[in-house]
Amino acid sequence: MFTYHDAGFTTWDLADHYGPAEDFIGEFRREFGERHGTVRLAEIQAFTKWVPRPGLMSRQVVDAAIAVSLSRMGVGALDLLQFHWWDYSDNRYLDALKHLADLKHEGRIRHLALTNFDTERLRIIIENGIRIVSNQVQYSIVDRRPEVRMAAFCHDHGITLLTYGTVLGGLLAEKYLGQPEPRRAALNTASLQKYQNMIDAWGGWALFQQLLVVLKAIADRHRVSIANVGVRYILDRPAVAGVIVGARLGVAEHLADNARVFSFALDDEDRANIEAVLAKSHDLSKSIGDCGDEYR
């Protein structure tokens, strides 16, 4: 984590249910403060999530959950709390969000956000007077569902998108260019399996190979990687505030490569070449639905 911070990657995305992720942030902050002084702790941002089981959302329930995250992360206020709700037939998500808004007003949450909410529920939340700064959703060259409804709504209401799945769990890479479709046994992480399913729904491996060929040509012209082009494409979308790139700490790290995202810009020719391939794909909003519907 210190290596990432020193390389300029100072914002971490985690959740209450990501194993010991919040504990790691707490320990990292403690050691960082000892090394560099507590004043420099302001350099670190940690975005967490609260993913409760739907049910009674009293102020006591909400307080208890947020207190756990505050304690584990060793902070007096959460930089960004991203709320998720599984079951829209239970509208007590509004109760939870109203209590979270009160906690923001009291200073225990700096910014209130969502993760994997659809556009309709986001509209309801806004109509209930709850201020949301961002919604974290799956968004990539392959999965462009946010462009159907979500992005325009967010633009109109001053909400931004934080995106994940942008490099398709690692499938958007030179490693898979010109290769046969991997067998399930070779997809050794949950992310790889998930995004392989997305590719299948989007248009299949043959079309994905066409996309990789185009991305490789663009990447070579700019002296960057295929993943860089994929991330840059999404960063350039109007509603997007940031792209979250997964890292398996100590196992798979791409620090220098990820930093190159900020070294180039896509031009009109690049975008036209990408769009020509995307025009051949299926509309995932028709087969899956709006943002987050894959979890429901």
Is 217 within the bounds of a domain?
yes
What is the Cβ-side half-sphere exposure of residue 55, based on CA atoms within 13 angstroms?
6
Query: Which residues sit opposite 164 in a β-bridge?
Result: 138
How far apart CA 108 and CA 15 sit, in angstroms, is 17
User: For every one of its 296 residues, what pLDDT tens digit does the chain have, with 9 covering 90 and above?
Assistant: 999 999 999 999 999 998 999 999 999 999 999 999 999 999 999 999 999 999 999 999 999 999 999 999 999 999 999 999 999 999 999 999 999 999 999 999 999 999 999 999 999 999 999 999 999 999 999 999 999 999 999 999 999 999 999 999 999 999 999 999 998 888 878 888 999 999 999 999 999 999 999 999 999 999 999 999 999 999 999 999 999 998 877 776 788 889 999 999 999 999 999 999 999 999 999 999 999 999 88
- Asked whether residue 54 is domain-assigned, the answer is no
Structural domain contains residue 173: yes
Q: How far apart are CA 246 and CA 148, in angstroms?
A: 25
Which tokens go with 193? 């399996």
Closest CA to 150 of 113, 121, 129: 121
User: Is 248 a domain residue?
Assistant: yes
pLDDT at 56: 96
Give the pLDDT confidence score for residue 238 in this predicted structure: 92
In a domain, 225, yes or no: yes
Distance of alpha carbon 117 from alpha carbon 247, whole angstroms? 24
For residue 235, tell me if it sits in a domain.
Answer: yes
pLDDT of res. 237 = 96
Q: Could you count the other beta carbons within 10 Å of the beta carbon of residue 20? A: 11
Total count of domains within the chain: 1
| pLDDT, position 187 | 85
Is 273 inside a domain boundary? yes
How high is the pLDDT of residue 250?
73
- SS3 of the chain: the string is CHHHHHCCCCEEECCCCCCCHHHHHHHHHHHHHHHHCHHHHHHCEEEEEECCCCCCCCHHHHHHHHHHHHHHHCCCCECEEEECCCCCCCCCHHHHHHHHHHHHHCCCECCEEEECCCHHHHHHHHHCCCCCCEEEEECCCCCCHHHCCHHHHHHHCCCEEEEECCCHHHCCCHHHCCCCCCCHHHCCCHHHHHHHHHHHHHCCHHHHHHHHHHHHHHHHHHCCCHHHHHHHHHHCCCCEEEECCCCECCCECCHHHHHHHHHCCCCHHHHHHHHHHHCCCCCHHHHCCCCCHHHC
Q: Is residue 84 part of a domain?
A: no
Contact predicate 120/107, CB 8 Å: no
pTM of the entire predicted model: 0.94
Rounded Cα distance between 1 and 263, Å, is 23
Contact 79, 110 (CB under 8 A): yes
Residue range of the domain that includes 174: 169-296
Report residue 83: phi and psi, to 5°. Answer: -95, 140
Rounded distance between C-alpha atoms, residue 246 and residue 90, angstroms: 31
pLDDT the model gives residue 156: 96
pLDDT of 266 reads 98
* Close Cβ partners of 89 (under 8 Å, ≥ 6 residues apart): none
CA distance 296 to 54: 13
Q: Which residues pair with 13 in a beta bridge?
A: 47
